[in-house]
Structure 1
Amino acid sequence: MKKYCFGIDIGGTTVKCGFFNTEGDLLEKWEIPTRTEENGSRILPDIAQTINDKIAERGLDKGEIEGIGIDVPGPVHEDGHVDFAVNLHWGVVDIVGEMEKLTGIRTKALNDANAAALGECWKGGGAGYHNLIMVTLGTGIGGGIVINDKVIAGAHGAGGEIGHGHATEELTEPCNCGNVGCLEQVASATGIVRLAKMRLEKDDKPSVLRGRNFSAKDIWDAVKAGDEVADEIAEKFGFYLGRELSIYTVVSDPQLIVIGGGMSKAGTVVLDYIQKYYRQYAFAACKEVEFALATLGNDAGIYGAAKVVL
């Protein structure tokens, strides 16, 4: 009998749903709204409903479903509960217990960045590798560590939260986590914009970035166009992220570092700046770790969520 599973990626606006066979082929994907009103109390019932509907639509028996994997934007404990997930308006929620009660199907839960790491390791930029670090460079920085094909969540579900490693003494404003000087503040998409503004205030050196509102994409476009100030900004970005990654690799000893998230769309130029400083600071045994761009895009989460139940 063929078996199937579901991979569910809960975001603050939409829930991405994937229906897979157990070989890892994505057979169908769709989205439903994330209803965060009433402290997000409708989110899990809505997911259960769409899963039950899909099983009925395909004429399947629940015995043919291997499980449901769900990822959420927040730390997930080993037993499948979260203490909080701010973007979902959740306090303590027992994801696994609720979903198994609503669907009658075995469920596993994990953090969204960890799911992306597992997905990329399984079917994406890290396919064929068994040990990797995944870094997602978006509005913030997410991360995931996979060792021997298993994602490392840790005692508090915070394993791989590399965006909140301390990176600099140059800042005074706090990070969203409450600390000051986190990697996220200087190497995310918003972080590199912060670095650019700080650099532009230093002197009047000409740059296409002056006198305008700009995004992380604009900065990388300027780097590719040979803008010297943009190059200095990218060097600073690479220094912070490359140095921080050298610390994580000496702990986890990966084969590969996968860079994903919106900023990775700038391409291999991003890798060039990170690798330069990574290799400068990395421990000798880890110095030649390979780098790759993520390939699954927004589907990484559903792949990883599916993989965790298989």
Structure 2
Amino acid sequence: MFKTDKPILGMDIGGTNIKAGVLINGQLQDIRTIPTPSQESQESVLETIAGFISEYLRYDFFAIGIGIPGLIDIEKGVVLNLSNIPSFRKVFLRDYIQEKFGKPVYINNDANCFALGEYKFGAAQKFSHVVGITLGTGLGSGIIANGHLYFGHNCAAGEWCSVPYLGHDFEYYCSSKFFIREYGKKPKTLYKRALEGDQEAMDAFHAFGKHLGELVKNILFVLAPQAIVIGGSIRKAYPFFKDSMEASISEFKYPSVSSNLQVLISELDETAIHGAVALVEEYTVPVTSI
């Protein structure tokens, strides 16, 4: 589905690590990771990003795509805030990188990049209406509508993590926070125990699946996607929460919508970087159908 054949650099900037890779002839190559100097000054973080980009100059890439958590002013290329990098407040990231390297830069939210990566390279390629959900330390989501990434004002669309649910929000019940709070264990530990037949672990994922099913129903009411792609570390435990999730979804008010929904599990290793490089094509192709 991805049409651009020129080299593109993709970056995934997180609070712990910065990852990058270059897309050459449709294949992601030379994937590297460096630690994020998250507690340092804005200038220091920017210099680290620029230094990392410099390591890829030999590929003569023509553009750079960047996924980053937080809200972003897309028109100005400004990162408005980034909770896990305290110094990143109103950062003119696009201008900084373009001035240094003389190449176009495209930036979007990392959860949006996940959805776009799955749509362009992964499990959701044959669908036009998709929601990507990442289940990990937090809950992230991105939207593909009519074959294009939809991100709303300041990349704030699809923030189901903060939608009220059972006195809290969906992230409270649909992320690792749920397992740590209710069972005192990380989902990775519970997954290993579930594989061994541990009843408490299997019960934990059964409960988790019910909450995730409620999240999916919420998404169905708003967007009625053809497919939902699940990513993030918790996706590995899908066999243990699949049934309870589907049971919740089966109660959806409009069976003609829910019965046709396909729930897919991400198989891409570097979805965020795939999505970052896909931003280049997404932004340079006219959007006429939204």
Same fold at TM > 0.5: yes
- Aligned equivalent of 1:205: none
* 1:76 partner SS: strand
* 2:157 partner SS: coil
* 2:65 partner SS: strand
Q: Which deviates the most, 39-48 or 105-114?
A: 39-48
- Aligned equivalent of 2:171: 184
- Aligned in 2, Cα 1:24/1:271: closer, same or farther, shift over 3 Å? farther
TM-score (norm. length: structure 2)? 0.86
- Aligned equivalent of 1:135: 133
Q: Which deviates the most, 111-120 or 246-255?
A: 246-255
**In the alignment, is residue 66 of structure 1 matched against residue 69 of structure 2?**
no
- Aligned equivalent of 2:33: 31
User: Deviation of residue 139 (structure 1)?
Assistant: 1.1
User: Deviation of residue 233 (structure 1)?
Assistant: 3.4
* 1:128 partner SS: coil
Q: 1:47 aligns with which of 49, 66, 69?
A: 49
User: Deviation of residue 9 (structure 1)?
Assistant: 0.2
Q: Could you tell me which runs of 5 or more consecutive residues in structure 1 were left unpaired when the two chains were aligned.
A: 170-180, 197-212
Tell me if the contact between 1:186 and 1:194 (Cα under 8 Å) persists in the aligned partners. Answer: no
When Rg is computed on C-alpha atoms for both structures, the one with the higher figure is: 1
Tell me if the contact between 2:208 and 2:241 (Cα under 8 Å) persists in the aligned partners. Answer: no
Alignment length, in residue pairs?
275
TM-score (norm. length: structure 1)? 0.81
**What letter is aligned with 1:280?**
E
**In the alignment, is residue 194 of structure 1 matched against residue 172 of structure 2?**
no
Identity of aligned residues (%): 28
Q: Distance in 2 between matches of 1:19 and 1:13?
A: 21
- Aligned equivalent of 1:109: 107
- Aligned equivalent of 1:210: none
- Aligned equivalent of 1:246: 217
Q: 2:74 aligns with which of 75, 78, 82?
A: 78
- Aligned equivalent of 2:8: 5
Tell me if the contact between 2:66 and 2:107 (Cα under 8 Å) persists in the aligned partners. Answer: yes
- Aligned in 2, Cα 1:224/1:277: closer, same or farther, shift over 3 Å? farther
Q: 1:98 aligns with which of 96, 103, 111?
A: 96
Tell me if the contact between 1:39 and 1:88 (Cα under 8 Å) persists in the aligned partners. Answer: no
Runs of 4+ in 1 over 6 A off after TM superposition: none
**What letter is aligned with 1:52?**
S
Tell me if the contact between 1:243 and 1:281 (Cα under 8 Å) persists in the aligned partners. Answer: no
Q: Could you tell me which runs of 5 or more consecutive residues in structure 2 were left unpaired when the two chains were aligned.
A: 282-290
User: Deviation of residue 131 (structure 1)?
Assistant: 1.9
Q: Distance in 1 between matches of 2:15 and 2:223?
A: 30
- Aligned equivalent of 1:293: 265
- Aligned in 2, Cα 1:2/1:138: closer, same or farther, shift over 3 Å? closer
Q: Per-residue CA shift, 1:203-257, capped at 9, x if unaligned?
A: xxxxxxxxxx532233344555555554443333222221121121222221111
Q: Distance in 1 between matches of 2:101 and 2:277?
A: 16
* 1:12 partner SS: coil
Q: Distance in 1 between matches of 2:26 and 2:218?
A: 33
Say what the alpha-carbon RMSD is for the aligned residues: 2.3
Q: Distance in 1 between matches of 2:225 and 2:190?
A: 30
